[in-house]
Structure 1
Amino acid sequence: MSVYDITVFLVSHGPEHDGKTDLSTQTFPSDRMQILPVKEDDPLHPRKNTVLALGEARGRYTLILDQGDSFSRDFIQALFTEAQKEKSVMVMPSQTCIHVKRPREQFSLEGKDELHVSLTEIPAVFPTCLNGLLIQTSSLLQAAENCLEEAEPEKQILVSLLDSRPEFFYLGSQDFEYFFPREHDYEYCLSCLSRDWYFTPLTGFLLPLLKEQKPSLYVQCLSLYMLNTRILANLNNRNKNLISRREAAGYAELFSDVLERIDTRLILDRSCQSLTWDLPIQLMEVRLKKRDFSYYPSLSCQEDTIELSCDGVPFGTLKNIQARINLIDYRKGCLEIDGGFQDYFSSREAEIYAEFDGKTYAPVYNQRYSMTKCFGVTFYRLKTFHMSIPVPDSSRERILRFCFCTGEKTYLMDFAFPSHTSRFCKDLTYAYWRFGPYLSYWKKDGIHIQRSRKLMVLYKELRLWKQMWQLKDGMFRDQLPLKVLNFLLRPWFSRRKIWFFFDKIYKGGDSSEYLYRYSRQFRDGIHKYYLLDPSCPDYSRLQKEGLHPVRRGSLKHRLLFLNADMVIASNSTVFAFNDYTFQRSLPIRGDVHFGVSCVQHGMSVQKIAVAQNRLRDNTKLYFCASKYEIANLSKPVYDYEGYNALKLTGVPRYDGLKNQAQKILLLSPTWRMNSVLPVTKNEGVARDYNPNFKETNYYKIYNGLINDPLLLNAAKKYGYRIQYVLHPIISPQAEDFTKNEFVEIIPSTGDMSYEKIFREAALMVTDFSGVQFDFAYMRKPVVYLHHRDIPQHYEEGTFYYDTMGFGEICHTSEELVQVLCQYMERDCQMREKYKRRADDFFTFSDHKNCERIYKEMIQYQQKEV
């Protein structure tokens, strides 16, 4: 018998996962509300004890809340009123994760305040967990009795509830910000870090449910949601490395078993946000359903478009197959175009070509990196190409078009400009690009090219300024003063040669600073500038040395970036480092003309085409220290072949590496994607603190290592100190580590000096970090910890640790400690076989790397700029 109107289960997930939720401020009468506290102690199974406690509910309705959930004062009253009015078994509010930096309601239903949801047709919204739902207690308890399996008890209850009565009420006017992350919150959800989460819910809950009977529409929605959350958590560089590439094929079979029981209409539906994915993922799921990765959608010609379909279900149209222009350059009278288009059709059914000045040009296809990966395995790639299109001298206006030809009909293709170096954009229709004697701009019928005349340039510029003021809710207005000033100063800047250097920006001391220092001594007519954030200690250091770095965010910084001839960077994504998001770069794409010289932060010997392919930054020169780097970067996926970009010179910062070893053991591992929060500002700013970091194996293993009694006793016996240098991306977690008197924990921020630390340490422990090469360059011993409990994220390219590594490889902390004790006992001397490997790897050891690089850059400046 019901004693209360509502029972609230207030769930605590432990001190490291809890906020505070105060129910005393609710307008709902407290005497009609039963509040039952529940303690959950397993973050990987966050509702286990709550489900067991459901029988204690004495209210007509039940509401499960987590400590830290946030909602309005009338939240409970509003849900209860709606449940009474609609006689609903379940009421669901609008739901958003409280941790997300750019919050978005899970189903993107803003504006739909009230919605009666029927699960007999594809729903716009559906529940994925019990948290935040107001549910009729009698129905909830009956559903809970049907939970026979331990796997996914929440989802079992929801399935039982909604299969018997497939409807509920969505109250979008009530915003519910949940504290405990859910499966689709891949940045914060701890379940994503558990291997069990990828298997048991599918094999122990989902597949038995799907095989039992013809699945309801809700079960299909929930199934697709569960698959998509696992894809989302491991898409491209989010890969948690919990499923190896060898296991991926078997895991894909598990997905196929689920998908073959899901209607293709649902897979391709775009009305529900939690089921709406971009087309490559939808195509992958159709292919998995069919168990055929050679499958393409059917193509049919219409009057003004083509239509693509899968089993009669619409997949897309010609608008979804665009000529994607990543880079256009003008060299020796030709437009050099790098691009791609979506691989949604068989090359046997259609072809694509360019048309300009009465001639047609076929794309030269290549293997440049354009892959979409899941669990580290490529499941989709764009068809990438290069075109060289002559621009004969003419006063006529001409149009560059791309055409899609099926044999039956030919259609004009739409353009897309997905890169900072695309030159054009669609949002600002008066944007333009000047090259040689020409002015070019995009219109719907193609890219127009005509003679550049001062009045036309002025007209375009003035109209562009007006658009920047008017469009996109004023998002470009703050760039308008810079745009105007740059236009006025363009004649002055055009007479100056500018090299623009930077490293992390929030930290100096890397290869760009070394090359900047070396090159500025020469009177070569080139103006050289080094960029730093004024808040970092390196800024004051350089000022004291009279080097006057450029202040990040200053007007000088912005103008130099727009007018540089060469950008010299030790890290990729130069636009992001300079505060340009994809959207923010739209007004300046026709202004920038620099190429990038990569002077490297680490060695390029692993598979890193996603970050270091030629088009990532429009890289013109890439300076390497080893023949093995050249071999790796020469592979087609990097697309440097034929561009004379790869130079075997050494890297700048190695000029400062001179052995001054003291009794110091250096621990310097790289970071892991699943140990840090994603970028929320830009790459030139330190990342945010991750509250879940201490739950990761990465933390537990390295924190245990720096506090290992055997290691600390050996260090004391032999007179060694230990320095643990945190990777810059891990540095926000410095306070999480347990300190002791023998270990100094050093974040890679502030006034720390890599060069000083590397010179003075006697031995380095690392995993896959590029700093191993700094140590090996000085012929000092390196020991690797490839711990079996930390997922490996390194993909071998041309450097193989077992035959080319510079030291022993350990797979447990115990094994590592034993090796370190042996090294300390013999004064940390590098073994001869590892010295021979270092001699083979490095082409130069003469500390003249900057000299060689500077000569190459001067030659490039004279020939190409």
Structure 2
Amino acid sequence: MNSYDITVLYAYHAEKERPVQDFPRQTLPAEKIQIIPVWEPDIYRPHKNCLDKVSLAEGTFTILLDEGDSFSERFLERMLQAALHPEMAFAMPALQSQKPLRRGEYFLLRDVEDLEVHIQEEPAVFPANLYGLLIRTSLLKEALLSTAFPCEAEKQALLYILGRIPRFRYLGTEILSYATSLECDHEYDIRCHTLEWYYEPFQKFLLPYLEQNGTTKDTDLLTQLYVIYMIKTRIGANEDNRNKHVISREEAENYCQLFSKALQYVSMSTLLCIQKVSHPARLHTRRLLLFLRLKKQDFSYYPKIRCTKEQMQLISDGEVFCELEQIPLRIIKIDYIDEKLEIDGTYNDFFSQQDAEVFARFGKREYPLVYNGRYARTKCFGVTYARMKTFHVSIPVEPSKEERILNFIFKVQGNEYIMDYSFPAHTSRFAKDFGYIYWRIGTYLSFWSRKGIHVVQSSKWKILKKEVALWLQMWKKKDGFYREQLPLKILNFLLQPYFTRQKIWLFMDKIYKGGDSSEYMYRYAIRQKDGIKKYYLLDKTSADYARMKAEGFQPLVRNSLKHRLVFLNADMVIASNSTVFSFNGYTFARSLPIRGNVHFDVACVQHGMSVQKIAIAQQRLRDNTNLYFCASKYEIQNLSKPEYDYMGYDALKLTGVPRYDGLKNRAQKILVISPTWRMQSALPPTGGTESVSRTYNPNFKETSYYKVYNSLINDPRLLGEARKYGYRIQYVLHPIVSPQKDDFVQNDLVEIIPSIGEMSYEKIFCEGALMVTDFSGVQFDFAYMRKPVIYLHHHDIPQHYEEGAFFYDTMGFGEICHTNDELIDVLCRYMKNDCQMPDLYRSRADDFFAFSDHHNCERIYPVMLEHEKKRTR
């Protein structure tokens, strides 16, 4: 008989082997718990040694936990009670990450307290690894001995265990808040940055296991769910901006053949039905279509349409893929200009355009949609796998006292269906969670209901009724998230007689950091006496706030009441960076109650140059950008492409950009190294907002980005030559990389400068003699002053920018290097020759820039004024 009830394999991940810290206090008596500390130094296999130590377990049950995990005092006691049932394979807690960026968890079922799961029926949840499971020790030892493949031992063990005993107990009330990232935590887990994670689990486990243990017709359900889960985690880690660039675009097609092979063992019933109830394997509909296409190995595949007078469905192999309500008409932007509703929208590309059509109906009139190529793609490994149908439609609002309703109609096989609406953008005007949101358009009032988008004659009484009803809706929201906005909403309504008489322009850079194009534009604008109220937004704790106050300016304080009111009533926002709402603290959820209030246009004055393929960030509707100021004809050329959707809107202006007014050459013997950031090396913004600096990434030192640049700034040959010629080196960190400053090894010749606090871009760029960068827009600052630029396009660092209208080999302002040694050779040559820009690159700069003076603000301001005169509130 075992002397212990439970053995805890307690993993710790310190750099050196050391005694483990105290185990959290438990109500289960200490003498009933055997704790085996296990040192896990390999961050790529965080529980490898624990599996080896299972042989030492003396408890009746065994559980694998990590130092730093958080759980209740009754955790082990309650898990033991559940696991003791003879028909249960193990007990599984609810898993929730301690990391701040994990919003939706793979293994946490909301509002589920306790659940008996049968893995071969309709499992609402299933484990992907052994971590956190309380398993009978004898069964676990037996399972680990049965593993036949060289990787994914934990999944093999679980397949064995659940093959023997297909039931387990899920305890939703026992939350295990885990400290060490799981493989589904693609923001934090280092494994998704390694090539092995993409290939070995498929080549050395999953595919051989499938071939050995199943057929394409009778693979057991858990194995099928593992196939879906393993593919899903790799796609999820590399979708859109999450692309880790481990699998190149060129390699993606061949790599995805592994997915296709594995999916042959997944039935259509599992793919289309079971996965919808199995939480860790659940797929949203766009991703589900990708899985179908991978399984069929046909990327032109569409489900078939089946319809009756009451219902339309999309069918794949006899199973329902989706219904019409899962193809909502997404209103991205709706505006009222020259007595017309100007609507930009999208809907899911789930059916062939030859089989059906979509059009708008307003009152009794019908209007065709004008389709365009605006960027609305979903990519994986940099390759597009899904597109939304994007369109624009103009709908005249002719004088009428009658109520009119706008609907979008799906017409197929002679049947017409009214499409459901979705309002996924800050500029959508409406929100389903707040049915009393209204939007004032001229003499009309517009609002959404289940019948459609209404347009009625406005009156003060109607407005008051809608406003008060909206206040009540905000108050009734249980979580209080909207209640805190209610005083602002009421105050803003009461102050409308004042604000409607004002013209307000809001200028903003990164808010936690000034000194960019918007500050230059603000400084010019504030001197113009035209009756427009102008505000420059900054965080009160930033060094730039103190600097501007000392210079006699009055920056608008971020998150102050005045800031909130100015934002709600601004007529124009002049911004150097995209995601205006995010910088002002509004997530998509937080902006819901104010969508009918905001009416500003956006003028982009740019942080860098728009010559790369950046449609995902800079297409017209990302920020409702109405004016886009450019310094080069090549920017205009790039932004005129269909995916940006600026053509026909008179938005692109060749004027120069404001911050170049401050670029005056005062070169000293300083080499400036300033690469851009990499999406795969940085954490996403905390809380979904860009208005605060990024948090520290604990895995940064494992990236090739860090290794290359840390090696460069500490290279003995570079430092020796710099001393020989009297040069200093400034390594300027991108704002997103700045939290990693202390990771870099310091030396006496290199100053590591984070882009926060009192640092001045203008001072650094004007005093630098030469710039080393990769793809950063700061290259253009140096080229504008006709100072030399050298590019480090290092073989070991994946790039996350694509060339658009600027090609480095024929248009770049300097030599392109691919290794540190090659770069140092070029740097030594430049230092020897006093860092002079060669004629070839000078002529390229002359061709690139439309202007080389310091009158950019002077050219921009009249354009903004003219736009203000034309716009209708």
Q: TM-score, normalised by structure 1?
A: 0.97
Instruction: Assess, with a 3 A threshold, how the Cα gap between structure 1 residues 326 and 17 changes in structure 2: closer, same or farther.
Output: farther
* Structure 1 residue aligned with 2:853: 846
- How much does 1:475 deviate? 2.4
Q: Deviations over 1:304-347 (max 9, x none)?
A: 22122221222211111112111111122211111111111222
Alignment counterpart, residue 270 of structure 1, candidates 266, 276, 281: 276
Cα distance per residue 1:564-623 (max 9 Å; x no partner): 111100001101111111111111111111110000001000111111111111111000
- 1:781-860 alignment, distance < 5 Å: 781-860=788-867
What displacement does 1:494 show?
1.6
Which residue number in structure 2 is paired with residue 729 of structure 1? 736
1:721-760 equivalence runs, <5 A: 721-760=728-767
> d(CA) in 2 for partners of 1:565 and 1:544?
28
Which of 446, 451, 454 matches 1:448?
Answer: 454
CA contact (8 A) 1:93 1:171 kept: yes
User: Which segment is superposed worse, 352-361 or 637-646?
Assistant: 352-361
2:224 maps to which of 216, 220, 235: 220
| 1:302 pairs with 2:284 | no
- Cα 1:18/1:562, change in 2 over 3 Å: farther
1:533 matched to 2:539: yes
Q: Does 1:462 find its partner at 2:468?
A: yes
3-state DSSP of counterpart to 1:516 = helix
**1:549 alignment partner AA:** P
Q: Are 2:553 and 1:551 equivalent residues in the alignment?
A: no
Task: State whether residues 89 and 162 of structure 2, in contact with CA within 8 Å, keep that contact through their aligned partners in structure 1.
Answer: no
Q: Do the aligned partners of 2:89 and 2:166 also contact (CA within 8 Å) in 1?
A: no
The residue type equivalent to 2:542 in the other structure is: C
Distance 1:191 1:30 in 2: 35
- Conservation of the 8 A alpha-carbon contact between 1:602 and 1:770: yes
Alignment of 1:400-479 (within 5 A): 400-479=406-485
- Once the two structures are superposed, what CA deviation does each residue of 1:24-63 show, in whole Å capped at 9, x if it has no partner? 6333333343332322222112233222333233333222
1:556: how far off?
1.3
- 1:472 is displaced (CA, Å) by 5.0
Listed as ranges, the matches of 1:45-60 within 5 Å are: 45-60=45-60
Decide whether aligned partners of structure 1 residues 804 and 19 sit closer, same or farther in structure 2, where only a CA change above 3 A counts: farther
* 1:491 Cα deviation after fit: 2.2
2:378 paired residue among 366, 372, 388: 372
For 1:593, which of 565, 580, 599 is the aligned residue?
A: 599
Letter in 2 for 1:175: I
Unpaired segments ≥5 residues, structure 1: none
Partner in structure 2 of residue 518 of structure 1? 524
In structure 2, the residue matched to 1:694 is: 701
Structure 1, residues 784-805: CA drift from partner, whole Å, max 9, x if none?
Answer: 1111111111111011111111
CA distance in 2, matches of 1:87, 1:413: 48
User: Alpha carbons of 1:472 and 1:582: their partners in 2 closer, same or farther (altered >3 Å)?
Assistant: farther
Pick closer, same or farther for the CA change 1:16–1:416 going to 2, 3 Å. Answer: farther
**In structure 1, distance between residues paired with 2:499 and 2:808:** 48
Contact 2:241–2:679, Cα closer than 8 Å, also in 1: yes
Residues of 2 paired with 1:613 and 1:172: CA distance?
Answer: 43
Report if aligned partners of 2:813, 2:842 keep a CA contact under 8 Å in 1: yes
The 8 Å contact of residues 788 and 811 in structure 1, kept in 2 or not, is answered as yes
TM-superposed deviation, 1:169 = 2.1
**CA shift in 2, pair 1:18/1:597, >3 Å:** farther
Quote the offset at 1:86 in angstroms.
4.0
Assess if the C-alpha contact under 8 Å between 1:396 and 1:450 holds in 2.
Answer: yes
Match of 2:389 among 383, 390, 396: 383
Deviation of residue 806 (structure 1)? Answer: 1.1
Relative to structure 1, the CA distance from residue 303 to residue 191 in structure 2 (aligned partners, 3 Å threshold; closer, same or farther) is same
Tell me, in whole angstroms, the C-alpha distance in 2 between the residues paired with 1:758 and 1:685. 24
Letter in 2 for 1:730: V
Change (3 A) 1:333 1:444: same
- The code of the aligned residue for 2:870 comes to K
Structure 1 residues 111 and 799: CA distance shift in structure 2, 3 A: same
SS in 2 for 1:749: coil
Does the aligned pair in 2 maintain the 1:21–1:70 contact within 8 Å? no
Q: Comparing 606-615 with 816-825, which one deviates more in the overlay?
A: 816-825
The equivalent of 1:15 in structure 2 is: 15
Q: How far apart in 2 are the matches of 1:387 and 1:194?
A: 46
CA contact (8 A) 2:87 2:167 kept: no
Q: Which residue of 1 aligns with 2:717?
A: 710
Q: Give structure 1 regions of 4+ aligned residues with deviation exceeding 4 angstroms.
A: 16-21, 101-105
Partners of 1:28 and 1:525 in 2: CA distance: 73
Tell me the amino acid that sits aligned with residue 265 of structure 1: S
1:471 positional shift? 3.1
The TM-score with structure 2 as length reference comes to: 0.96
Deviation at 1:21, TM superposition (A): 5.5
Provide the alpha-carbon RMSD of the alignment. 1.8
Aligned-pair identity (%): 57
Gaps of 5+ in 2: none
Letter in 2 for 1:343: D
2-side partners of 1:357 and 1:18: how far apart?
75
* Structure 1 residue 473: Cα displacement: 3.6
**Closer, same or farther: CA 329–821 of 1 in aligned 2, 3 Å:** same
The counterpart of 2:686, out of the listed 656, 680, 683, is 680
- Total equivalences in the alignment: 865
On the 8 A contact 1:786/1:811 being kept in 2, the answer is: yes
SS in structure 2 of the partner of residue 474 of structure 1? coil
The question of whether the paired residues in 1 share the 8 Å contact of 2:620 and 2:644 is answered with yes
- Name which of structure 1's ranges 480-489 and 194-203 shifts more when overlaid on structure 2: 480-489
CA distance in 2: counterparts of 1:305 and 1:88, whole angstroms: 43
Q: In structure 2, what residue type is equivalent to 1:733?
A: Q
Structure-2 change in CA distance of 1:18 and 1:74 (3 Å): farther
Query: Match of 1:401, SS?
Result: strand
What's the CA shift for 1:2? 4.7
* Cα 1:812/1:122, change in 2 over 3 Å: farther
1:171 aligns with 2:178: no
Letter in 1 for 2:686: T
Q: Distance in 2 between matches of 1:864 and 1:64?
A: 63
Q: Distance in 2 between matches of 1:514 and 1:278?
A: 44
* 1:592-671 alignment runs, 5 A limit: 592-671=598-677
Q: CA deviation at 1:12?
A: 2.3
Question: Which deviates further from its counterpart, 103-112 or 87-96?
Answer: 103-112
Aligned 8 A contact 1:572 1:617 in 2: yes
Deviations 1:165-188 (A, max 9, x none): 322222223221222111111111
Within-5 A mapping of 1:30-179: 30-86=30-86, 88-101=88-101, 105-179=105-179
- Cα contact 2:113–2:171 (8 A) shared by 1: yes
Change (3 A) 1:104 1:720: same
Q: Within 2, Cα distance between the matches of 1:280 and 1:82?
A: 38
User: What residue identity is the alignment partner of 1:106?
Assistant: Y
Q: Partner of 2:299 in structure 1?
A: 293
Shift of 1:18: 11
Offset of 1:223 from its aligned partner?
A: 1.6
Residues 105 and 842 from structure 1, CA distance in 2 versus in 1: closer, same or farther, beyond 3 angstroms?
A: closer
**Counterpart residue number, 2:871:** 864
Superposition deviation, residue 407 in structure 1: 2.7
1:252 partnered with 2:259: no
Q: How far does the alpha carbon of each residue in 1:788-841 deviate from its partner, in whole angstroms, 9 at most, with x for none? A: 111111111011111111111111222222222222122111112111111111
CA distance in 2 between partners of 1:550 and 1:32 (Å) = 61
My pick for the range that moved more, 299-308 or 802-811, is 299-308
Q: 1:326 and 1:105 mapped to 2: Cα distance?
A: 28
In structure 2, distance between residues paired with 1:120 and 1:243: 34
CA distance in 1, matches of 2:17, 2:497: 58
